[in-house]
Chains A and B, each alone.
Chain A
Amino acid sequence: MKTWVWVVIVAVILAVSLTVGVVLLTRQPQGNVAYVYVDGELVYQVDLSKVDQPYLYTVNTPYGTNVLEIAKDSIRIADADCPHKECVEQGRLKGSPLVCLPHRLVVKIAEDDADSVSR
């Protein structure tokens, strides 16, 4: 194949994935209930619209701990005892779930009844 064909293929993949990716990651979460999962098991849930005072919630997983900072309509991972703290870098939860892979922890926002629907 000619080089320009490869350039077009790679450029198209880049343009499409970048557009879709930015849209997915910056969209506002649907719903107001935050669900915290470890190993795919629901360990904690909170209705973010009903939080008056910001508070910290510590999740102890079999692999380590993560500290969640929960405020009105906002949830983020404030601290973790993993080496790279990539989960902390992710900031406030927006369109995509917060993930801490070493601790198998996922935080996501969904409608109130999303959990029962997904079952």
Chain B
Amino acid sequence: MKRALTKRIVIDGVLTAMALAIWVVEAQIPLPLPVPGIKLGLANVVTLFAMFALGPLDAGVILLVRIGLGSVFGGGLTAFLFSLAGGALCYLLCLLLRLVVKDKQIWVLGALGAIAHNAAQIGVAIALTRTTGLVVYLPVLVAAGVITGTLTGLAAQASYLALKRTTLLSRLKGGASLPKEPDDVAGEEDETEKKNQK
């Protein structure tokens, strides 16, 4: 039991580190667009993947820790508020949607989740600047969210389906069937490294 919990913490930690690295790198690449706030949202690939591969709780923990650490690694308070509002609304919508989508429709969560994320961010922007006029940005951000969200959703879906064909997923999730043989443990480490390189 204790070992299962340790394993879960380690796996969540590895995924959080991946998400944070992606987030930090992405923040260094500003997109030269005339609309503020459009980004690829690549870190959401990890959250979505975790939601299906590990479960909603793990995905929520990974999301929260990534957002918290992200603001420490150079986002600041403003970025923290935006990430938290966007991430929370996106997460809640995905919680509902995952009950109705099939494995091959995970990209829908990416697309609709990104819309929720961007809508929440416009809300925060309006609250911070006290300018309701900013709502004119909403349609463009929704459109951008659909495009980027579909792409990141497809990435999460592809990773999940690829790993589902292996025994790795059940071993990631289930603490019950712990690998006893040293061979298995080595194999697992290899897989984690491969994911990191992606």
Contact = CB atoms under 8 A, between A and B. Distances in A.
Interface residues of B, number: 37
A18 to B, nearest CB: 4
Interface string A88-104: 01110001110101101
Among B35, B134, B136, residue most surrounded by chain A Cβ atoms (within 10 Å): B136
Given A17-B146, A106-B129, A3 B104 contact: yes
Given A14-B146, A18-B139, A106-B134, A1 B100 contact: yes
B interface secondary structure, majority:
helix
A62 interface: no
Contacts of B136: 24-25, 95-97
Interface in B139-187: 139-143, 146-147, 150
B36 A97 contact: no
Contacts, number: 102
A99 B36 contact: yes
Interface in B42-91: 76, 78, 82
Contacts of A33: none
B128 interface: yes
B134 A18 contact: no
